[in-house]
Structure 1
Amino acid sequence: MSAYPQAYIDYLVYFHAERDYFECHEVMEEYWKEHPGDPLASNYVGLIQIAVALYHHRRNNRTGAKKMLASSLNNLTDTGMNSLGIHSEELRTRIAARLEQLSQPDSVYEDMNLPLSDPRLAAACMAECAQKGKTWLGPIDTSDTFLIHKHRLRDRSSVLHEREQSRLRKAEQRGMEP
């Protein structure tokens, strides 16, 4: 049994094997929201922001990528990163390098890896990858349009249905006609 939450392992697999930064965001955000008061909460937010930044960068939204990466630096703590098995100094170096790269107009997106410092964590992630038939530290499939533009192409019917249900419940609570 891993000392790390399964959602975090899932985040790392999406990040390093599938390069699905949208799902990284989804899985980590859900975990973060389900665990209010977690001492690592700001670090979870920082990890979410890194994934969102890479999603933006891959889609050539440099402004969004820079904003998210800069914000991530404010949320990541050395203690938190160490607790999550990430080499904090190396991560900060990689983020700074990516911010510099984003300021170059002719630079192109490249995959980025989080520098894991805990070999047990890396082993757990690799085992999860093997179970799913994924390649740890594999490159992105640049022909996968769905992966690149997931926020626009995914099925949102359940989200829209839940929003409508929420709107109806609120209207009912206020004693109004929906």
Structure 2
Amino acid sequence: MVESPQDDSARDRDETGRARNARARDRFGRPLPPGSIGVPRIPDDLELPPAETLAYAQQLLDDGLAFNAHEVLEAAWKQGPFAERMLWQGLAQYAVGLTHIQRGNRKGARTLLERAVQRLAAFGPPPYGIDSDGLMAHAAGLLAVLDTDEPLPEERLRVRLTGATQGSQH
């Protein structure tokens, strides 16, 4: 048996023994060394109504914090009504796709954006003013650039979760 070089006893765990994700993270969601100060974390037990979830996630996206927006949207996916899980999962995956672009991981970005588009398309007309058509058009533009060596500057990652269709803007 090969021993792991990592000492698992040093990992942060909850009272049930499950690993906790308490390490500070940078603005792209990457763990920082122990003792570092990172961006403020999204609470694991976040519960917001849909409109507040979307507004909070949008503010984080506007601030370039796609990983944190993903955590907000993931909380809605995990705690929201079962009938809406595919929608919230698609939005969370969209934010993770943007996170992968920010990190320079084109393959990961492609995978997550494609999954997000599939979920948004399968959900049908979305509630809460979510602009699925605009999100899917924006994703198509990002996916096209991911097939090239063209850089993806931050302004290309600007996206609106709700409101008027945005596909023609990108």
TM-score range, shorter chain: 0.5 to 0.7
Q: Aligned runs of 1:158-169 on 2, under 5 Å?
A: none
SS at match of 1:40: helix
* CA-to-aligned-CA distance 1:39-87 (integer Å, 9 cap, x gap): 221111111111101111011100000000000011113412xx13133
Match of 2:64 among 19, 27, 30: 19
Match of 2:93 among 26, 29, 49: 49
Residues 82-124 of structure 1 deviation map (CA, whole Å, 9 limit, x = unaligned)? x131333222211111100111113233322126327xxxxxx
Give the aligned CA root-mean-square deviation in angstroms: 2.2
Structure 1 or 2: more helix by fraction: 1
Unaligned runs of 5+ in 1: 119-178
CA distance in 1, matches of 2:157, 2:136: 16
Give, in whole Å, the separation in 1 of the partners of 2:53 and 2:65.
Answer: 14
Does residue 87 of structure 1 match 2:131? yes
3-state DSSP of counterpart to 2:129:
coil
Contact 2:69 2:92 in 1 (8 A): yes
Deviating runs (4+, > 4 A) in structure 1? none
Determine the structure 2 residue equivalent to 1:6.
52
Distance 1:31 1:91, change over 3 A: closer
Are residues 5 and 106 of structure 1, via their aligned partners in 2, closer, same or farther at CA, if it must alter by over 3 Å?
closer
Q: TM-score, normalised by structure 1?
A: 0.57
Q: TM-score, normalised by structure 2?
A: 0.59
1:1-150 equivalences under 5 Å are 4-16=50-62, 18-37=63-82, 39-76=83-120, 77-80=123-126, 83-109=127-153, 110-114=156-160, 116-117=162-163
Report which structure shows greater RCO (CA 8 Å, sep ≥6): 1
> How many residues in Structure 1 have an aligned counterpart in Structure 2?
113
When Rg is computed on C-alpha atoms for both structures, the one with the higher figure is 1
What stretches of structure 2 of length at least 5 have no aligned partner? 1-48, 165-170
Q: Partners of 1:101 and 1:112 in 2: how far apart?
A: 15
In structure 1, C-alpha distance between the alignment counterparts of 2:162 and 2:90, rounded to whole Å: 15
